[in-house]
Amino acid sequence: MRVGLLIAFTHPNATQATTRAIGERADRRGFHSLWLAEHVVLFDEYNSSYPYTPDGKIALGEEAGILEPFTTMGYLSAVTQNIRLGTGICLLPQRNPLYTAKEVSNVDHLSNGRVDFGIGIGWLREEFEALGVDWARRGARTDEYVQILKTLWCDAESQYRGEFHNLPPCRMYPKPVQKPHPPIYVGGETDAALGRVARLGQGWFGVYHTPQTAAERIGKLSSLLSEQGRALTDVDVTVGVPFGVQPSMDEVKRFRDAGVNQLILPIFLQRAEATLADIDDLAKRIVEPAAAL
């Protein structure tokens, strides 16, 4: 069983020194991956409902902005050797697909092929409106943007015509190190998200799960994959537990038995000493025993 970390690198604790120390420590302690969140702006007041808390609110302070994931991943790639670096989750439909393709490819190039590209359609309508992006069609936009990313990553000369973007014949280099491209992990818990995994993904990135809820969603994913002529073995099932939950080894085994390939442990970013102590504790209690499963 592989084990990864999910950390929202938030101001003011995400200093240069702390970010470096976290990357180095997680790499040295044997974590398989380190996943970074994304929000370009947040709001004091909003009507959207965050899907992972009972009150629908994201638990961040007024000045706790999140570091941009790709520049942070580029920095982390320079101070680590083995750990994979993932977006958990990149809000793809909010972004220009050309710049996103370039950023993913660039980090994959500089990290020597260590990028896992997690995508989602987003939950914060107010952020879409601030960016001038249509909220209602974000799912269809995501599907189209994936096709644009793939032609930019894989084709010597890229072009695309679609509902949301027209790409004239052009060339984008460098290409990613990973072939045909970095694996795309689709995030989300809904049937629609799992359907997108089945159609487009090389992985599923689910969060806030117990072994029971993971097993139910994996069963649904298996059925949707079958409809696409694919099997569960075609995707990497990556599932996280809720913030603040530290699973026992019995629960880790139950996640494995449910079909989870990689378990993600989210931790709150604190000052360096406390965060590094959390990483060491998780490595000793979960990463090292899980490697033998």
Q: Is the pLDDT of residue 48 over 90?
A: yes
Q: How far apart are CA 119 and CA 186, in angstroms?
A: 5
Count the Cβ atoms, other than its own, within 10 Å of residue 258. Answer: 20
CB 65 within 8 A of CB 127: no
Q: How far apart are CA 205 and CA 239, in angstroms?
A: 6
| Angle, helices 272-282/16-28, rounded to nearest 10 degrees | 10
Q: Is the pLDDT of residue 202 over 90?
A: yes
Least confident residue range of 58-72, 171-185, 211-225: 58-72
pLDDT of residue 293: 86
Q: How far apart are CA 272 and CA 21, in angstroms?
A: 7
Q: Which two tokens stand for residue 114?
A: 């260590």
pLDDT of residue 54: 87
pLDDT of residue 262: 98
Categorize the per-residue pLDDT at 71 as very low, low, confident or very high, splitting at 50, 70 and 90.
very high
pLDDT of residue 186: 98
User: How are beta strands 33-36 and 2-7 bridged, if at all?
Assistant: parallel
Q: Is the pLDDT of residue 63 over 90?
A: no
Any idea what the Cα angle at residue 80 is, between residues 76 and 81, rounded to 5°? 140
With a pLDDT cut of 70, the percent of the chain lying above it is: 100
**pTM for this one?**
0.97
Q: Is the pLDDT of residue 205 over 90?
A: yes
pLDDT of residue 59: 81
Rounded to an integer, the average pLDDT of 171-199 is 98
Least confident residue range of 47-56, 144-153, 159-168, 193-202: 47-56
Q: Is the pLDDT of residue 291 over 80?
A: yes
Q: How far apart are CA 95 and CA 55, in angstroms?
A: 28
Question: Which CATH number is 2-290's, of 3.40.640.10, 3.30.420.130, 3.90.1570.10, 3.20.20.30?
Answer: 3.20.20.30
Least confident residue range of 60-74, 101-115, 198-212, 271-285: 60-74
- Average confidence score pLDDT of the chain: 96
